[in-house]
Structure 1
């Protein structure tokens, strides 16, 4: 692997464009030298403004340098450029990387994009060898390579964040494996579950999200470099060498597809959109759990804000913003799908609009994951309140029906009907099911005995759910510990 392979996925948006007119004039002249041989004049101001992408694609600088280092090494290896030229290119690119890292590099809008900015600076620094670097490549395969590298690095960073959130959830689930809470359907009390079981549901969702990210990475890990503009190149290049230097599994198979394809970005945004939906659901539940009628959890000052008029308020703004950022991520997917939907092969300038949605979605996803991770680790569970509500709303009604089936061998539909009548009777009397007398019970089903009361506690209801994946405390504890082991540094899923 070459140096300047990106670690993480910071976008570096603090880099500013040069605004000095003398720099712009020189840069426009350089830009014309890059592609302007058949043009008598330069682009208009409006054309230059709409055509330039350096304001955002400068985020690809590390990947662009990595790709150029690999390309130069390959060109020297096959004898297209000399070893001396390759050494000069390597030294020059390394120096340019240091300039950018230190914030000393002057980016020029007239040079359009990160590729031409770096190439022009390289030629300024080392002369003729810099002008040989672009042999056997086009900006079409160059940007396709840079973008794949960037998305791959972003995937790796987000994968670690997802794993961290899964660890946080599993840790809290282990802590609350036996603590009852009401389980809901339609946001109506349904059956008792444990708080740990509820948290582990999100571990499973996030595990699928990690799987989608891994699948995306596997498919994108092919190298387009060497495809040139669209038809390949007449030079005897070694694409396998370039792919290997950049950490790709193999070169792409079709030069037209290589420069036309943005499936990897679409698949990435699709995976992020599904993950963001999961985070939004978790955030929504945090908002509900924090609300006064529920009061299941409390977030500290670190993840709440106050009101400008109501001094008593503690607003779960972090969770609300995670919920809102889902729209930005999903919108990025729709944006790129719309850009790509009608494009003929191969490259078209529309594809310049591919990066900002990906950058924006990545930033939103990373921040949302960090916020959820922080809130889960930070929250204090009000287990007394959860337990009090776990038995409300006739939540053990299904346990009566199950008892009738198991003990009296009543068909389930009949048991369901009998239980419904018992619920109506308890509701009429204003009592819980366990407070109905045996006579009340037997009036609906004469075969009912005192034994039925043994299943009408929250604890008994939870303990009975021993089926695989069920909410029984032992199940929850086992699953939480399994995931914590898998997500540990020694585990397979770390």
Structure 2
């Protein structure tokens, strides 16, 4: 992400570092690229190397975080008298002016190597000589590491909020269709397996997103340690790292300077959690596309989500759903790329891992827009009740319930019950009728001990109601799941 920049070697006079002590560290401009005095990019090679080391487009997302963390460190250093009062006030005033300026998005990315170059140049430009002490007590590496931790922490919070809103929409839709007693076909092996209440399938996504939220909470907790002021191998300056951490709402500061600047566990964990969330989103999209298929037509979506085909007005293309599927599909590639970068790196700081930031931001953007659109789809879709009722009764979907009834009531083995159920299905198929319409005497020819109670599993609506085991698809269990989910929200 960030071009490596050597630490400023500030002279310490007593406990004060003045602006004059850092004058030799001022930056100069070579062509369009800002580099440190005596930096490794020469005029001759600058046009070749500047592009590969630029990361402004990616790390501009850390703009506000970098300003806030810089402010906190300047204030802490002023209290410890590591920076003169006048210099500190000048830098803090410059930061406030930078905050009031136009968004960093409007600046030419070719003018600066990264967001930290931009902030440094702006502070020096506004505060003059005082600006040259703004990097006292910190390295570029611990600043970047701390800002990434802050960004991951905030991103976890944002994703948890989005998932919570999505869960609320799923619960609302479930409650709506519990009241309507909406039954839909449940698919296994790409075929209709058994009828279930729609609410049961919707609540399955709520459970998935509960786990996603838990993962983001755990990652946030582990990332919430401040690396600010750690430097790469520590410093002789009398820094109050814990005060900096508290002012930026971290739980603690890190305990090892090497690990502080080279630990990217939180990046890999975040990308991993985003990937799992993407799998859940992809599963939802696959189900919705099945429901939406013209051969099923179980649900309808508005024109904002399924676009009318320009050539055939009767054909509607699920472009939004397919776009979401593609966005979450690329998450695995982004994670794999970062894992490949991190694997094999030594414990020293290197440029390699900085490339991970692009993948980090791209993954966050992809999953964020996907969750928002999933919520829109949940709020928008309408069930076509006639179609789902017909599909729920087709192909003898309660045959597995017949097996369970035979085992429970006739004390026979599952294998024998499956044979009886298969013969009942064959009979209904031969007569071209529903299981529930077969006469009792016909059923007793297959198994004499069958009683009229078997119709509790032959009639689709009654079979669904009877699945009362914990986590089952009966209305009683769905309402329990709703209560539990609401408490978790």
**Alignment TM-score, normalising by the size of structure 2:** 0.89
1:30 and 1:120 in contact (8 A); partners too: no
Q: Structure 2 matches for 1:30-179, cutoff 5 A?
A: 34=36, 36=38, 43-101=45-103, 106-107=107-108, 109=110, 111-177=112-178, 178-179=181-182
Structure 1 residue aligned with 2:396:
394
Greater alpha carbon shift after TM alignment, 397-406 vs 32-41: 32-41
Per-residue CA distance 1:217-270 (angstroms, 9 max, x = gap): 111111111121x21111111110111111111111211111111111111111
d(CA) in 1 for partners of 2:135, 2:281: 44
What's the secondary structure of 1:191's corresponding residue? strand
**Secondary structure of the structure 1 residue equivalent to 2:228:** coil
The unaligned stretches of length 5 or more in structure 2 are 1-26
- What SS does the aligned partner of 1:127 have? helix
Residue 222 of structure 1 pairs with residue 196 of structure 2: no
Deviations 1:277-319 (A, max 9, x none): 1111111111111111111110011211122322211122111
Asked whether the 8 Å contact 1:281–1:323 carries over to 2, the reply is: no
C-alpha deviation, 1:31, in angstroms: 7.0
Partner of 1:12: none
Cα offset, 1:380, TM superposition: 0.7
Shift of 1:383: 2.2
Match for residue 308 of structure 2 among 306, 309, 315: 306
- 1:183 maps onto 2:165 in alignment: no
| Whole-Å separation in 1 of the counterparts to 2:201 and 2:383 | 13
Name which of 324, 327, 343 aligns with 1:325. 327
1:457 to 450, 456, 459: 459
CA contact (8 A) 1:108 1:117 kept: no
**Is 1:366 matched with 2:368?**
yes
Q: TM-score, normalised by structure 1?
A: 0.88
Structure 1 residues 132 and 407: CA distance shift in structure 2, 3 A: same
Q: How does 1:241-390 map to 2 (within 5 A)?
A: 241-390=243-392
1:104-148 C-alpha deviation (Å, 9 max, x unpaired) = 7x4564542111211121112112221111112111111111111
Q: 1:449 to 1:340 in 2, by over 3 A?
A: same
- d(CA) in 2 for partners of 1:55 and 1:426? 65
Flag the 1:374–1:89 CA change in 2: closer, same or farther, 3 A: same
Contact 1:223 1:248 in 2 (8 A): yes
CA distance, structure 1, for counterparts of residue 72 and residue 44 of structure 2: 32
Shift of 1:33: 6.4
After superposition, give the CA deviation of every residue in 1:340-399 in whole Å (9 maximum; x if it has no partner).
Answer: 112112211112211111111111111111111001101111123212221222111122
Is residue 210 from structure 1 mapped to residue 213 from structure 2 by the alignment? yes
- Aligned residues of 2:300 and 2:382 also touching (Cα < 8 A): yes
Matched, 1:473 2:455: no
Aligned Cα root-mean-square deviation (Å): 2.1
Q: CA deviation at 1:85?
A: 2.0
1:424-443 to structure 2, matched below 5 A, reads 424-443=426-445
Q: Which of 435-444 and 33-42 deviates more?
A: 33-42
Judge conservation of contact 1:206–1:275 (CA < 8 Å) in 2: yes
Greater Cα shift, 51-60 or 202-211: 51-60
Decide which of 196, 199, 203 is 1:196's aligned counterpart: 199
Q: 2-side partners of 1:358 and 1:121: how far apart?
A: 27
Aligned in 2, Cα 1:410/1:261: closer, same or farther, shift over 3 Å? same
Q: Do the aligned residues in 2 keep the contact of 1:137 with 1:226 (CA within 8 Å)?
A: yes
Q: Is the 8 A contact 1:284 1:320 kept in 2?
A: no
1:39: how far off? 7.9
